[in-house]
Every structure is written in C-alpha cells, then in structure tokens.
C-alpha cells in the first residue's frame, strides 16, 4: 500500500523511504513537519540523516544544517556523512572538510563512506595538500585496503594531476574491480596521456575485467588524442563485436575520434549509419566539415539537422562560424547571424566572438564592432580578434586605441593579442609605436617574443625602408628566422629597390627549401625593377627547373549568392564583352584623372605599350569592372585577390574609387584595402 507523506492519520509510519520519495522541497518540508508533530520524542538517526541529505539535494543548506543541529541524539558517522555530502552538493568544499575536522574532534570515527566524499571535495576544488593529509588518515584508520576508499584516492590524485601517486595506490590494491580500472583509465585520458590509457585498457582485457561503456568512451577519447586512426579502428571493431555501437554516446565518441584523426570519410560513413543522432553527433560532424574547409557541406548539415527536428545550439554555431570567418564567406556568415536572430538563440560569449570574427575577417568592421560592444563579458579572445580585425583592415589607430582600452579594463594581453598589435603597427607604418609595444610586451607583460612577433617587426622595418634595422633584429634573434621573416625582408627590398640585400634574403629562403613561388617572383621583380634582365631570366629558369610556377592569381567578387572568379586576361566569363567595354571606359576616365601605368611591376622585358596592355587585364581590374556593372550605386565593391595585389592595380583602384564615387574593399593575400575617394587605408604600405 502506498503511503502518502501528508496523510495526517499515519504520522508514526513516516520512514526514511518516505523522505527519499519526496520530489520537491515543499513536499519535503511538509513531511518534515509531520515528523516533528509525531508522538515520538525525536526522530531516529537514520531519518535525520535522510532529511539532512535531502535538504542538501534541494539546495536548502540552511534547513539541512538546522535538521542536523535539532537531531536531539548524539550524531554518528552516517549523520556527519550526510552533512558533508549536502555541502559538497552545494559546492562548499572547504566547509565539507571543516565538518570532517569537527567530526574527528567530536570523537566520531569516519567510515568507508566518509573518505570518498572528502576526496571528491578535494578533487573538485584542487586541494591536493588536504587530499594527501586525508590519505594519511586513511592509512591510520586501516581503511587503505577498502576498494571503495582506494578508488576514491586514485580518482582524487588523478583529478589533481598527481598521476604517480594515483598509480601507486592502484598498484597497491589487493583487488581491483572495474570501477578501479576505470578511474585509472579515465584519469590517464583526462590528463592527456592517451598512450598510458590504452595500456590500461590492454591490461584490463588481459586481466579479464569486464569493459563497460565508461571504459569504452575513455579509450575512444584516448585514440582521438593520439590522432591514431589505426588504434581507433581497432577499438571500433571491438565496440561492434561487443554490441556497444548502438549506444549514441559511444557512437558519437567514435565519430569525434575519426573526425579529429583526419578520417573525415569514416566519420561521415559512421554518421550515416547511426540509428539515433543526437545534437552532439550533428555538431561534431558540422565542426569537422567546417575545419576541413567544407563550409558549404557544414552549412547543409546545419540545415538538415533542423529538418530532422533538432534545434541547433551555441556549439553548432561555434563549430561552423570560425571556418566561415577563415574563408571570408560573408554571405554564409550573414545567414548564420540571421538564423540566430530569427530563432532567438542565446548569444553567448563564444558565439558572439565567433560571429564578430566572421564580420571582421570579411571586411565589415562596423557590424563586428557593434557585436563587440554588446558583449557583456569580453574575454581576451574577443579583444584580441577585434584588435587584429582593425589591424588587417589598416585601421591602425583604432586597433591601438582598443588595445589601450583593453588594458584600462584590466584585461591582460597574451601573445596572440600582441601579434595583432604589432601587425597593426606594421600595416599602419607606426615605427616608434611598434618598437615601444615590442619592448612593453617583453618587459611589462613578460611575454617571450615568438617567431610571429619577430615577423611583424621585420615586416614593420622592411616596409618603412629601415632595412638595416630589420637585418639587425634578425641577427639578434635567439630563434632561427623563418621563411616568413626572410619573405618580409625580401618584400621590403622589392619595395625599396635594394638588390643586394634582396638577393641575400632570397638565398636564405631558398636554403630553407621554400617552395613558395611567390618568393621567386619577388626576387625576379627586384631584378626586373633594376633592369637586370639576365638575372630575371635566371630566376625564372630556376623556377622552371624546380617545377615551380607562378600561381595563377585570381580575383573574385560575390554578386548575390554567386561568386564570380577572374584570372588575368580572362575571356571566359559569359559577360566578357560587357566587362571589357566597361574596363576600357573606366581606364579612360582615370587616364583623364592622371593615371600613369606602373609598368615596372611587369616581369617581361618587353616594350612599355605591351606592358600596359598586360596590366590592363589584371584579374582585380576585371573583377572591379564587373562589380561596377552588377552592383548598385552606393554599395561597396568587395573583391578578393588570391595573391598580393600589384602596385598598378592599387593605383588604378584608388583612382577608380574617386572618379566613380564608389568604395572598393580589396582583400588580398596580405591584408584588406579599404579604398575610398582616392585614398587607401593601407597608406600604400602592404
Ligand atoms: Zn595588378
Ligand atoms: Zn591599399
């Protein structure tokens, strides 16, 4: 017969089970009132123990403590345990340990349930020294051989990163059940020691221990960390053989393992075979496709997931947005943003930061800044990506102002923040500020300069023509200069026509076996500008010998949702006649405004009028012409160029922006150029 806990006719029958069955704080309080009204002088200890624990579970620690204090009998270890447990449940780990101290002072001997609770408190709050002291108490109390206590110890040491101590306790255990093995296995996996975790797994199988879901999930996580498809496949076959594959948690762990080990095909295959796909599985595959550059597939999955009846969450968006930013797919970014707004999804810090990054990387700094401003808790990641956004767009002043503001807000910059700051200085040509920030990074913030910071500084000096200072910095570097550093120096030599140092930088680059044809092109540009045609031919023939070709540069423009791509001298576009007609028209206009072709950028030693014709058909000019035809007045023309844009196209774009009164946003391999009214934000440094 079911007993109602509020039945007034049966007060004496209220038992600890009745307390246990209370599903809400109010029913618990009613039951407690019944107990207090009952004719018995005071409730027995087991009933009080239940009350103390139940109040703790419902988060009413005050009632829990008062039930303990009003017990009316001498408390035993079980009653103390329940008070400790109530405190742990409410994350008051220090108080839990103080209750234990009082328990010992009151002369109550802790039992085998007391210590695992205390270990949990120590691991949740990283109080390893208390954990070590408690280990001593365990030895003194003779509970060391109790498997329940020992497992608690292993787990506590593992969670505090004391792997050696954990192993010692485990090895000293007389009998080990699965729980003990799992504590060791999970501990290794969570401490980033996947090889050891796999070793434990093998040990378990040799010892004939039953492997359960927890162990399987830990082993798969270890394979993900090892990025070992081979080991992963082996565990996968074991999973299938033992009938675990239908479990959605195990299947999702496998999916994540294949995805992070580079087995995208296997991940997709597994996903298709999964009977039940939860949100985690979908998010995992979406993020995996996005990371592998398959953003359109990622977006398709994102839509399909909703057809299947699941609602995307912050993780779904966080998986897709970074890739959208990396590939500058503003259109997709906007779709994601619209989706968030339409579905009133929660804009947590992570999603807003990712979204902000998309806009910043795609050239829409105004929306990026608006998103940055609405963030309540701005992390160092958010500050850094907004600073970097300003830097690459040539808004150096804004970047540095934001950096100062960040410090005024007591946010400590990290090495990534400084990459943004120094690159903003390089792109803006702020030489003194660059030197100053480099100094402050090392001396005020104790950040050891990495190769990226040196690259920014060499770039800064080289662009400004301070080639000696750039070379001095390279000589003084405690780390080996990278290809990027020599490339920056080479770029400076090209800009400032320094043949000797350019040749030296190029030799260092070729020693590093750099197969980037861009560097060969830079060197041949230096020779070409100096009229050293024999050297130009030599560089070009050595490129041919090495099988390096100047990558065919292309420019693209997004019109509506379609991307149009052009190569130099392109005649393949369906609207090609219209495009060349427009181009002729614009070139004539800018000619009147004073345009003189920068012929020195053309490699071939041919007559100037031929060079002019080559220049005229550069891909960015074709894309701009198409933009002028297909976009409406007042709209910025956004062009993406796969290589560093050439000086001539830069000059032409500036003049076009002036004569047709249109803003041109040009993203090249180096940076963004916001060109308006004849002026570019790069200040002609790039
Ligand atoms: Zn060009
Ligand atoms: Zn520019």
pLDDT tops 70 at residue 583 = yes
Ligand in closest contact with the CA of 620: 1
pTM above 0.85, yes or no: no
Q: How far is the CA of 673 from the centre of ligand 2 (A)?
A: 4
Place of tokens 């070992």: 228
Alpha-carbon dihedral angle through residues 651, 652, 658, 662, given to the nearest 10 degrees: -120
Is residue 633 within 8 A of residue 655, CB to CB? The reply is: no
Compute the distance between CA of residue 224 and CA of residue 183 in angstroms, rounded to an integer. 19
Is residue 371 within 8 A of residue 356, CB to CB? The reply is: yes
Mean local confidence (pLDDT), 360-376: 86
Q: How far is the CA of 655 from the centre of ligand 2 (A)?
A: 12
Query: 16: phi > 0 → left, psi -120 to 50 → alpha, else beta; which?
Result: alpha
Is residue 618 within 8 A of residue 552, CB to CB? The reply is: no
Mean local confidence (pLDDT), 323-332: 71
Q: How far is the CA of 683 from the centre of ligand 2 (A)?
A: 6
604 pLDDT tier (thresholds 50, 70, 90): low
Contacts of residue 361, Cβ cutoff 8 Å, sequence gap at least 6: 325, 326, 328, 389, 392
Is residue 480 within 8 A of residue 486, CB to CB? The reply is: no
Ligand in closest contact with the CA of 602: 1
Q: How far is the CA of 423 from the centre of ligand 2 (A)?
A: 15
Q: How far is the CA of 666 from the centre of ligand 2 (A)?
A: 8
- The per-residue pLDDT for range 132-167, each reduced to its tens digit, is 999 999 999 889 889 899 999 999 999 888 899 999
| List of domains in the chain | 449-545 (1.25.40), 566-680 (no CATH)
Ligand in closest contact with the CA of 611: 1
Q: What is the mean pLDDT of the chain?
A: 85
Q: How far is the CA of 607 from the centre of ligand 2 (A)?
A: 28
Compute the distance between CA of residue 343 and CA of residue 337 in angstroms, rounded to an integer. 10
Mean local confidence (pLDDT), 505-518: 78
pLDDT tops 90 at residue 483 = no
Place of tokens 């290809």: 483
Mean local confidence (pLDDT), 3-15: 46
pLDDT of residue 616: 80
Contacts of residue 87, Cβ cutoff 8 Å, sequence gap at least 6: 56, 61, 93, 95, 96, 99, 121
Dig out the tokens for 88 from the structure.
């742990």
Nearest to 403 by CA among 376, 428, 424, 373: 424
pLDDT of residue 84: 95
Beta strands at 562-567 and 554-559: parallel, antiparallel or unpaired: antiparallel
Q: How far is the CA of 278 from the centre of ligand 1 (A)?
A: 50
Mean local confidence (pLDDT), 83-95: 92
pLDDT of residue 620: 92
The three-class DSSP label of residue 7 is coil
Is residue 380 within 8 A of residue 411, CB to CB? The reply is: yes
- The C-alpha angle 332, 338, 339, rounded to 5 degrees, equals 90
Ligand in closest contact with the CA of 652: 1
Mean local confidence (pLDDT), 4-17: 51
CB atoms within 10 A of CB 556: 18
Contacts of residue 433, Cβ cutoff 8 Å, sequence gap at least 6: 400, 425
pLDDT of residue 327: 64
Q: How far is the CA of 670 from the centre of ligand 1 (A)?
A: 14
Q: How far is the CA of 396 from the centre of ligand 2 (A)?
A: 13
The three-class DSSP label of residue 99 is helix
The three-class DSSP label of residue 549 is coil
- The per-residue pLDDT for range 537-579, each reduced to its tens digit, is 888 888 777 766 555 578 888 787 677 888 888 888 889 999 9
Q: How far is the CA of 468 from the centre of ligand 2 (A)?
A: 25
Strands in 37-176 per DSSP E: none
Compute the distance between CA of residue 581 and CA of residue 138 in angstroms, rounded to an integer. 89
Q: At what angle do helices 451-463 and 467-476 cross, to 10 degrees?
A: 160
For residue 669, the 8-state DSSP code is: S
Is residue 275 within 8 A of residue 298, CB to CB? The reply is: no
Q: How far is the CA of 612 from the centre of ligand 2 (A)?
A: 21
Compute the distance between CA of residue 580 and CA of residue 679 in angstroms, rounded to an integer. 25
Ligand in closest contact with the CA of 684: 2
Mean local confidence (pLDDT), 585-601: 87
2 pLDDT tier (thresholds 50, 70, 90): very low
User: Ligand 2 being an ion, which residues bring their Cβ within 5 A of it?
Assistant: 673, 680, 682
Ligand in closest contact with the CA of 645: 1
Ligand in closest contact with the CA of 649: 1
pLDDT tops 50 at residue 8 = no
The three-class DSSP label of residue 239 is helix
- The C-alpha angle 32, 37, 40, rounded to 5 degrees, equals 100
The three-class DSSP label of residue 556 is strand
Q: How far is the CA of 366 from the centre of ligand 1 (A)?
A: 28
Beta strands at 637-641 and 664-667: parallel, antiparallel or unpaired: parallel
Q: How far is the CA of 630 from the centre of ligand 2 (A)?
A: 23
Q: How far is the CA of 507 from the centre of ligand 1 (A)?
A: 26
Count Cα neighbours of 305 within 13 Å in the Cβ-side half-sphere: 23
Dig out the tokens for 607 from the structure.
């007559």
pLDDT of residue 312: 81
Ligand in closest contact with the CA of 686: 2
Q: How far is the CA of 531 from the centre of ligand 2 (A)?
A: 26
Dig out the tokens for 38 from the structure.
């009952």
- The per-residue pLDDT for range 615-670, each reduced to its tens digit, is 788 899 999 999 999 998 888 898 888 778 888 899 999 999 999 999 998 888 77
Q: How far is the CA of 120 from the centre of ligand 2 (A)?
A: 59
Ligand in closest contact with the CA of 667: 2
CB atoms within 10 A of CB 69: 11
Q: How far is the CA of 551 from the centre of ligand 1 (A)?
A: 14
Ligand in closest contact with the CA of 622: 1
Helix (H) or strand (E) holding 148: helix 147-159
Ligand in closest contact with the CA of 646: 1
Residue 324's alpha-carbon distances to 330, 357, 508, in angstroms, are: 7, 9, 36
Ligand in closest contact with the CA of 668: 2
Ligand in closest contact with the CA of 643: 1
Question: Given strand 562-567, what is the order of strands in its sheet?
Answer: 562-567, 554-559, 637-641, 664-667, 672-676, 679-680
What count of residues does the chain have? 686
Q: How far is the CA of 553 from the centre of ligand 1 (A)?
A: 10
Q: How far is the CA of 647 from the centre of ligand 2 (A)?
A: 9
Q: How far is the CA of 667 from the centre of ligand 2 (A)?
A: 9
Contacts of residue 633, Cβ cutoff 8 Å, sequence gap at least 6: 661, 662
pLDDT of residue 605: 52
Q: How far is the CA of 615 from the centre of ligand 1 (A)?
A: 6
pLDDT of residue 456: 94
pLDDT of residue 3: 38
349 exposure class (CB count in 10 Å sphere: 0-12, 13-18, 19+) = middle
Ligand in closest contact with the CA of 601: 1
């Amino acid at each position: 017969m079911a007993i109602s806990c509020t039945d007034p006719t049966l007060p004496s029958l209220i038992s600890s089970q009745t307390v246990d069955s209370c599903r809400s704080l109010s029913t618990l309080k009613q039951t407690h009132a019944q107990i207090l009204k009952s004719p018995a002088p005071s409730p027995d200890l087991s009933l009080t123990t239940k009350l103390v624990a139940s109040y703790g579970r419902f988060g009413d620690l005050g009632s829990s403590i008062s039930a303990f204090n009003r017990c009316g009998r001498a408390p035993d270890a079980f009653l103390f345990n329940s008070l400790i447990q109530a405190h742990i449940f409410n994350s008051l780990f220090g108080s839990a340990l103080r209750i234990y101290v009082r328990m010992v002072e009151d002369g109550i001997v802790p039992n085998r349930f007391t210590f695992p609770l205390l270990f949990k408190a120590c691991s949740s709050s990283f109080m390893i020294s208390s954990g070590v002291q408690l280990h001593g108490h365990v030895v003194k109390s003779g509970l060391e051989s109790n498997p329940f206590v020992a497992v608690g110890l292993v787990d506590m040491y593992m969670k505090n990163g004391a792997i050696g101590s954990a192993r010692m306790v485990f090895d000293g255990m007389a009998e080990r059940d699965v729980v003990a093995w799992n504590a060791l296995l999970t501990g290794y996996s969570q401490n980033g020691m996947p090889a050891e975790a796999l070793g434990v797994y093998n040990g378990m199988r040799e010892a004939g221990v039953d492997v359960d879901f927890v162990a399987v999930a830990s082993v798969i996580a270890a394979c993900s960390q090892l990025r070992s498809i081979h080991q992963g496949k082996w565990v996968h076959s074991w999973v299938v053989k033992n009938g675990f594959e239908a479990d959605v948690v195990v299947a999702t762990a496998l999916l994540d393992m294949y995805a992070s080990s580079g087995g995208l095909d296997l991940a997709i295959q597994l996903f298709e075979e999964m009977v039940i796909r939860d949100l985690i599985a979908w998010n995992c595959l979406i993020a995996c496709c996005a990371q592998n550059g398959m953003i359109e597939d990622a977006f398709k999955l994102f839509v399909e997931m909703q057809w299947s009846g699941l609602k995307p969450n912050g993780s779904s968006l966080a998986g897709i947005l970074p890739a959208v930013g990396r590939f500058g797919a503003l259109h997709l970014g906007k779709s994601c943003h619209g989706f968030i707004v339409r579905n009133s999804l929660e804009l947590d810090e992570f999603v807003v930061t990712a979204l902000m990054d998309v806009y910043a990387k795609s050239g829409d700094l105004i929306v990026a800044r608006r998103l940055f401003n609405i963030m309540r808790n701005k992390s160092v990641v958010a500050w850094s990506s907004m600073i970097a956004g300003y830097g690459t767009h040539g808004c150096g002043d804004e970047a540095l102002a934001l950096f100062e503001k960040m410090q005024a807000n007591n946010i400590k910059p990290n090495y990534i923040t400084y990459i943004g700051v120094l690159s903003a200085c390089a792109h803006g040509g702020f030489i003194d500020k660059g030197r100053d920030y480099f100094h402050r990074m090392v001396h005020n913030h104790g950040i050891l300069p990495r190769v990226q910071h040196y690259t920014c500084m060499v770039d800064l000096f080289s662009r400004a023509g301070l080639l000696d200072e750039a070379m001095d910095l390279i000589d003084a570097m405690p780390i080996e200069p990278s290809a990027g550093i020599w490339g920056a120096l080479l770029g400076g030599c090209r800009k400032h026509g320094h043949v000797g140092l350019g040749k030296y930088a190029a030799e260092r680059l070729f020693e590093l076996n750099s197969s980037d044809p861009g560097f060969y092109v830079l060197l041949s540009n230096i020779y070409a500008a100096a009229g050293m045609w024999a050297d130009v031919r030599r560089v070009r023939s050595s490129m041919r010998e090495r099988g390096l070709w100047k990558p065919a540069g292309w420019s693209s423009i997004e019109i509506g949702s379609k991307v149009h791509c052009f190569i130099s001298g392109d005649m393949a576009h369906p609207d090609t006649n219209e495009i060349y007609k427009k181009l002729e028209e614009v070139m004539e206009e800018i000619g009147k405004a004073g345009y003189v072709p920068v012929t020195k950028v053309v490699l071939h030693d041919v007559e100037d009028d031929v060079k002019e014709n080559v220049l005229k058909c550069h891909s960015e000019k074709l894309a701009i012409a198409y933009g002028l035809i297909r976009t409406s007045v007042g709209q910025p023309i956004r062009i993406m160029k796969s290589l560093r844009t050439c000086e001539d196209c830069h000059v032409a774009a500036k003049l076009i922006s002036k004569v047709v009164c249109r803003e041109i946003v040009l993203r090249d391999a180096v940076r963004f150029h916001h060109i308006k009214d004849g002026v570019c934000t790069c200040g002609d440094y790039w």
